[in-house]
Chain A
Amino acid sequence: MLQPYLAFLNRNKYKLAIIGLLLGASFFSVFLVIARMAYSDSQQYRGLIWNLFLAWIPFVLAYIAYALSWKRSLLYVAIPVFSLLWLAFFPNAPYILTDLQYLNRAAVEAPLWFDIILLIWFSWTGMLLGLISLYLMHEIVQRNFGRWPGWLFVLVVSGLSSAGIYVGRFLRWNSWDILQNPSELAMDILGLAIDPSLRLLAFTTLFAVFFLFVYLTLYTFAHLFREQVEQTMPHKVVKNTK
């Protein structure tokens, strides 16, 4: 009776392990904030829990899109909708990195090193959630349109999400303003596009390049790993019988 479930678990071992790791890290992060609140009676950093929740949205969307993308019939209907929704929420994942700026207000209620570890936990969990969801979307694009459109997609997303982080951090817009306040948001973005500030250009460039570096390193590291397995443990690789 359990057989099909066990087979499913075994087939998706690593996918489930990644979800488990990210869930574990999220719980740990939330626990750190709760411990801080209990210790210091201050509500500082409570907002990070909300930000981390927002970082999960693109991950879940990418996961659903990835699962649906195997069905050709759904591909051209569901995927574009999911992709747009995904893109709207995606910047929330790397956004948490900018929350490191709160270290600037030296808090007195908890030691600085504790706040650093707390922010590192949140920002890395958010960033890794983002990177893996980008990888899933990258896979969908690559499978259907080829290798170069796949990398172009990654490049465009890096640029757009950096701009998105800027719009969120400095102009204080949220993902859902696309639906709630589309005209005002559009005017603001249009204004930025026509007359970009030095801050916008510097921030977006530094961040987009950073994001690309991290994604490429993660991607290459994973391939390095695969290369290793193929070279040293060939029994783990399915042989091509054709």
Chain B
Amino acid sequence: MKTMLSYFAHNKYRLTIFGLLAGATIICVGIVRLRAALTGSTHYAFLIWNLFLAWIPFIIAYFTYVTSISRRWLYFIVPFSAILWMLFFPNAPYILTDFQHLSNAGGDIPVWYDVILLIWFAFTGLFLGMVSLFLMQEIIRREFGRWFGWGFVVAVAGLTTMGIYMGRFLRWNSWDVLGNLGGMAQFTIYYVINPTPRSLVFAGLFVPFFLFVYLLLYTFGHLLLEHRVEDKPVKVST
């Protein structure tokens, strides 16, 4: 009992963030359910699936983070789960592009309801992504150093944008890597060699957005540290 309590105290914020995201997911599902009850249409039910997909990289990152603490597992499990994580990661920020469904909203329910519904989903998805990215960055930073950690974040921002583009415009899924690796690789290489204006502009606008949000969250964390140092020094038991 005592060890369990100290475990909770030790991981207070990690558990709180997990609880917050789980709570937000439940509310998201509730908002879609309420919409279905009010209108009798099952529109936006696919968002629940998309949010479920956004949870996969979060869980992989969490799992990887925990196993990476013990050195023994590090070199076996981490590379494998990092690739799996990268495959599923774009699903988290992908939900932002679901705002496109607002273009034909307003038929069965007021537009403002759908706006709030999509905001709930998009923010929950992006936060799931940001927290899981932070966990992965921490693993890299610990093993290889600070600059590799940031290089990793920039690389992920680029790859994610590519992933979102492939999902939104070319309609590929994360699991096509298993089912149709050849086709997907061919397609991707073709697109990298022959970029369209659309793909270039999309990447040019989305990569900085992703980095901006992540950097802001990261800096905000540091700001808190700065305050703590200013106000009252943190007690460190040695």
| Residue positions of A touching B, CB distance < 8 A | 12-15, 17-18, 21-22, 24-25, 28, 32, 97-98, 100-101, 103-104, 106, 111-114, 116-117, 119-121, 124, 128, 132, 135, 139, 143, 169, 199, 202-203, 206-207, 209-210, 213-214, 216-218, 220-230, 232, 234, 236-241
Complex Cα spacing A240 to B234, Å: 6
Q: Which residues of chain A are within 8 angstroms of B116 by Cβ–Cβ distance? A: 203, 206-207, 210
Q: Select B100's contact among A113, A220, A225, beta carbons within 8 Å.
A: A113
Complex Cα spacing A233 to B15, Å: 21
Q: Which residues of chain A are within 8 angstroms of B218 by Cβ–Cβ distance? A: 225
Count class of interface residues, chain B: 35 or more
Taking CB atoms and an 8 Å cut-off, the chain B residues in 117-144 that contact chain A are: 118-120, 123-124, 127, 130-131, 134, 138, 142
Nearest first, the 7 closest Cβ-Cβ pairs linking A and B are A225-B221, A103-B102, A224-B13, A222-B221, A238-B233, A14-B222, A14-B223
Q: Which residues of chain B are within 8 angstroms of A112 by Cβ–Cβ distance? A: 100, 103
Q: Give how many A-B residue pairs fall within 8 Å (CB-CB).
A: 181
Q: Which residues of chain B are within 8 angstroms of A234 by Cβ–Cβ distance? A: 236
Q: Select B14's contact among A25, A224, A237, A241, beta carbons within 8 Å.
A: A224
Complex Cα spacing A104 to B64, Å: 41
Complex Cα spacing A225 to B141, Å: 13
Instruction: Establish whether residues A120 and B118, one from each chain, have CB atoms under 8 Å apart when the complex forms.
Output: no
Instruction: Establish whether residues A113 and B97, one from each chain, have CB atoms under 8 Å apart when the complex forms.
Output: yes
Some 20 contacts from A to B, beta carbons below 8 A apart, are: A13-B226, A18-B216, A21-B216, A97-B119, A113-B100, A116-B96, A120-B209, A210-B116, A210-B120, A213-B24, A218-B220, A220-B17, A221-B17, A221-B130, A221-B220, A224-B221, A225-B221, A225-B222, A237-B225, A237-B229
Instruction: Establish whether residues B130 and A119, one from each chain, have CB atoms under 8 Å apart when the complex forms.
Output: no
Q: Select A28's contact among B120, B134, B208, beta carbons within 8 Å.
A: B208
Q: A209-B27, A232-B142 are in contact. Are A222 and B224 (CB under 8 A)?
A: yes
| Residue positions of B touching A, CB distance < 8 A | 12-14, 16-17, 20-21, 23-24, 27, 31, 96-97, 99-100, 102-106, 110-113, 115-116, 118-120, 123-124, 127, 130-131, 134, 138, 142, 168, 198, 201-202, 205-206, 208-209, 212-213, 215-229, 231-236, 238
Complex Cα spacing A218 to B232, Å: 22
Instruction: Establish whether residues A213 and B20, one from each chain, have CB atoms under 8 Å apart when the complex forms.
Output: yes
Complex Cα spacing A177 to B24, Å: 35
Complex Cα spacing A183 to B39, Å: 39
Q: Select B118's contact among A32, A100, A169, A216, beta carbons within 8 Å.
A: A100
Q: Which residues of chain B are within 8 angstroms of A114 by Cβ–Cβ distance? A: 201, 205
Additional A-B contact list (11), CB under 8 Å, known A216-B20, A240-B234: A24-B212, A28-B212, A32-B205, A98-B115, A111-B198, A113-B168, A120-B99, A213-B24, A220-B17, A223-B224, A238-B234
Instruction: Establish whether residues B236 and A237, one from each chain, have CB atoms under 8 Å apart when the complex forms.
Output: yes
Q: Select B224's contact among A25, A207, A216, A225, beta carbons within 8 Å.
A: A225
Instruction: Establish whether residues B219 and A223, one from each chain, have CB atoms under 8 Å apart when the complex forms.
Output: no
Distance between A64 CB and nearest chain B CB, rounded to angstroms: 17
Complex Cα spacing A132 to B216, Å: 10
Q: Select B31's contact among A97, A203, A206, A227, beta carbons within 8 Å.
A: A206
Q: Which residues of chain B are within 8 angstroms of A223 by Cβ–Cβ distance? A: 13, 221, 224
Q: Which residues of chain A are within 8 angstroms of B198 by Cβ–Cβ distance? A: 111, 113
Instruction: Establish whether residues B221 and A226, one from each chain, have CB atoms under 8 Å apart when the complex forms.
Output: yes
Complex Cα spacing A213 to B123, Å: 10
Instruction: Establish whether residues B119 and A210, one from each chain, have CB atoms under 8 Å apart when the complex forms.
Output: yes
Instruction: Establish whether residues A222 and B118, one from each chain, have CB atoms under 8 Å apart when the complex forms.
Output: no
Instruction: Establish whether residues A220 and B96, one from each chain, have CB atoms under 8 Å apart when the complex forms.
Output: no
Complex Cα spacing A202 to B31, Å: 11
Chain A residue nearest to B232 (CB atoms) is A240
Instruction: Establish whether residues A15 and B168, one from each chain, have CB atoms under 8 Å apart when the complex forms.
Output: no
Q: A116-B97, A120-B96, A210-B116 are in contact. Are A18 and B234 (CB under 8 A)?
A: no
Chain B residue nearest to A234 (CB atoms) is B236
Instruction: Establish whether residues A14 and B209, one from each chain, have CB atoms under 8 Å apart when the complex forms.
Output: no
Distance between B33 CB and nearest chain A CB, rounded to angstroms: 13
Instruction: Establish whether residues B100 and A230, one from each chain, have CB atoms under 8 Å apart when the complex forms.
Output: no
Distance between B167 CB and nearest chain A CB, rounded to angstroms: 12
Q: Which residues of chain A are within 8 angstroms of B231 by Cβ–Cβ distance? A: 143
